[in-house]
């Protein structure tokens, strides 16, 4: 943008960030997640809703956020996981998943990286609720140890 001042570029960038995050609407992240679940409907909406419920059960102090052009995010002393939705899968990505024990073998995606690990859920699939809640609690514990240690 040759003839555009740096100030104008910065203002434009900030407007785009606001527009992408949805924050200009003044809605809470929790409400935006509610709306995403409703908008998805079908098995993906039900799956995201169920995952959200399990996250809250595992960590009642979890903070819900809305980032990266509409991705539900759950944090506690740092990012725990995201809830991404695609045509054929609902993906739960743990930001520090590679550092977590996975005794139940829940991680089935993003297994090659050094940091993240993910779980892909497909329609009609049953969730091992206790194993997932244990994994969420382990992620919270890892965040807390890094935040306070």
Task: Report the C-alpha gap between 15 and 149 in whole angstroms.
Answer: 37
Q: Report whether pLDDT(23) > 60.
A: no
Mean residue pLDDT across the chain = 86
Confidence label for 18 from pLDDT (cuts 50, 70 and 90): very low
For tokens 């785009």, what's the residue?
A: 16
Task: For Cα atoms 111, 71, 21, give the angle at the middle one, nearest 5 degrees.
Answer: 140
| pLDDT of amino acid 14 | 43
* Token representation of residue 112: 């090659």
pLDDT score, position 5: 56
Strand partners, 85: 90
Strands (E), the chain: 63-67, 71-75, 79-85, 90-94, 117-121
The answer, yes or no, to whether residue 72 has pLDDT greater than 80, is: yes
């Amino acid at each position: 943008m040759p003839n555009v001042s740096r100030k104008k570029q910065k203002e434009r960038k900030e407007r785009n960030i606001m527009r992408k995050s949805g924050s200009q609407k003044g809605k809470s992240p929790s409400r935006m997640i509610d709306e995403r679940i409703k908008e998805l409907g079908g098995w993906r909406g039900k799956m995201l809703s169920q995952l959200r419920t399990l996250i809250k059960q595992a960590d009642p102090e979890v903070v819900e956020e809305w980032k990266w052009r509409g991705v539900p995010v759950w944090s506690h002393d740092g990012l725990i996981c995201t809830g991404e939705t695609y045509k054929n899968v609902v993906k739960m990505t743990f930001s520090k998943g590679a550092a977590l024990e996975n005794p139940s073998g829940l991680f089935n995606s993003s297994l090659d990286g050094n940091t993240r690990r993910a779980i892909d859920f497909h329609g009609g699939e049953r969730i091992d609720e206790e194993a997932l809640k244990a994994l969420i609690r382990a992620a919270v514990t890892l965040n807390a140890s890094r935040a306070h240690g």
